[in-house]
Amino acid sequence: MNHRNFLEGSFSSIASRTGDAFTQTRYLSLTRPKSISRDPIREFLRKHLYKRLSWSAAEISTRRLDFYKNGIPETYSPFVNWLARFIIAIGGGAALIVPMLITSIHSSQPKSLVTVSCAVVLFRCVLFWCLKRIIERL
C-alpha cells in the first residue's frame, strides 16, 4: 500500500498545498519541541568545547546545517551533561573538605572561625547565584 496515496486521501487539505507537505510536518505536531534549561556550567562547556563534544550524535544527524553554521544545540550531549555533573560534584566535595583541612592544620580558634565564616559566605553566594538562575527560569 502506498502511504502517500493514503495520506492524500485522508488529508486532502494538506496535500493541496505547494511543496512536499507530508515531509514538512513539524508544524502539524502536537508535541512541544524539546527545550532545555540553560544553566551557566553547561553553557560555558558548550561554548568552550569542540562542537563535536557539545552536540549529540542524533542532533548532528538531524540538524547538520545548524551544526556546521555553529548553531546552538537544542539538547546537550551526554558528554557535556556528564562533565557538568562531574564539575559540580568536585566543587561540592571541595567545599566540604578544603575548610576542614584548613582548620585541622595548626588549629587555632581565630583561624577556624575565619575559615568557617568565609566558607559559609562563599556557599551563600554560590547558592544565591544558582537559585537566582532557577527563579529567573520560572
Give a yes or no: residue 31 inside a domain: no
- Tell me the residue range of the domain where 94 lies: 39-138
1, 13, 59, 77 from 22: Cα distances, Å: 16, 11, 21, 30
Give a yes or no: residue 32 inside a domain: no
Give a yes or no: residue 90 inside a domain: yes
- Which long-range contacts does 56-63 make (Cβ < 8 Å, 24+ apart)? none
All three cell numbers of 130: 544558582
pTM, rounded to two decimals: 0.60
Give a yes or no: residue 50 inside a domain: yes
All three cell numbers of 41: 556550567
pLDDT in tens, 43-83: 888 888 888 898 988 888 888 888 889 888 888 889 998 99
Residue 83 in contact with residue 45, Cβ under 8 Å? yes
Residue 128 has pLDDT above 90, yes or no: no
Total count of domains within the chain: 1
